[in-house]
Amino acid sequence: MKVLIVGAKGQLGRGLIAMAPAEADITSHDIDTLDITDAAAVDALVQAVKPQIVFNAAAYTAVDKAESEEALAEAVNAIAVGHLAGATKAAGAQFVHVSTDFVFDGLSGVPYPPDAPTGPVSAYGRTKLAGERAAGEGALIVRTAWVYAPTGGNFVRTMLRVMAERPEVRVVADQIGTPTYAPGLAAALWKMAAAGASGLPHYTDAGACSWYDFAVAIQEEALAAGLLETAVPVIPIAASDYPTPAKRPHFSVLDKTSTFTILGGPTPHWRANLRKMIEEIKHHG
């Protein structure tokens, strides 16, 4: 089975490679070897590889910078998705694209099902929603949230660093979502692709928390594993106390009920996967 993975050096791309089934013959590219905004380059690559599946794990994810670089975010998150989707369709292959909870407005009090009305409140969210539309009918478009992994830049690694360096940390407590462990997301994408799934399923770990709750759990797990020597106060703050260029949804928990049918059961709880990552860092750095 020939597979093309785009965005291969990111958290999810690395996870897709690590979790690949034995029969997968993988060709992988990142920004240093493929400009996905170049339609001709994308077409040439897909024609050369002749994949059965194309995973798009590439994205412009600098949420705050996107407010001043929306054209660039649009090029990567939407226009390039159209290039990849078109080339994949022409090759008769399956296109798997990853989207985000940021396509929602964050005003709901209950988890968002896949068919809930969208209403992004940031440039990043707008460009990711445009990317969903560019992926087209027949694609598998999986919305996820708060992705982290043992490597790369993410909230968990940032918290581990600042908790070791500062006498206290202040973390937003009124934004609610669900952390998602990248290797688990990658395994789910492989499983959904193998099942021939399409449409807009949601995938995150189970449960919900605020960024503050997440930070407290990170410190507890890191102390238990010996990654941190001393506990520091974790102080809850309002999002209004930590202004950012981009507005973020206050509540972006995703309803995964339909996804359970595809995967054959519920996803792991976010706290269990956090513990797994902390152990991974402890043993492998």
Q: Which of 112, 124, 148, 203 is catalytic?
A: 124
Q: Please indicate whether residue 124 is annotated as part of the active site.
A: yes
pLDDT number for residue 283:
87
What mean pLDDT do residues 178-196 have? 97
Residue for token pair 């043992």: 150
Whether the per-residue pLDDT at 187 is higher than 90: the answer is yes
Write out the residue range of the structural domain in which residue 57 sits: 2-284
What mean pLDDT do residues 155-171 have? 97
Provide the pLDDT confidence category of residue 4 given band limits of 50, 70 and 90. Answer: very high
pLDDT number for residue 42:
98
Domains: count for the chain: 1
Tokens of 92: 């008769």
Residues 239-278 have pLDDT tens digits of 999 999 999 999 999 999 999 999 999 999 999 999 999 9
Residues 23-64 have pLDDT tens digits of 999 999 999 999 999 999 999 999 999 999 999 999 999 999
Residues 98-153 have pLDDT tens digits of 999 999 999 998 999 999 999 999 999 999 999 999 999 999 999 999 999 998 89
Residues 205-250 have pLDDT tens digits of 999 999 999 999 999 999 999 999 999 999 999 999 999 999 999 9
Whether 114 contacts 258, CB under 8 Å: yes
Tokens of 216: 């407290």
pLDDT number for residue 151:
87
Whether the per-residue pLDDT at 164 is higher than 80: the answer is yes
What CATH number has the domain bearing residue 67? Answer: 3.40.50.720
What mean pLDDT do residues 77-103 have? 98
Whether 73 contacts 111, CB under 8 Å: no
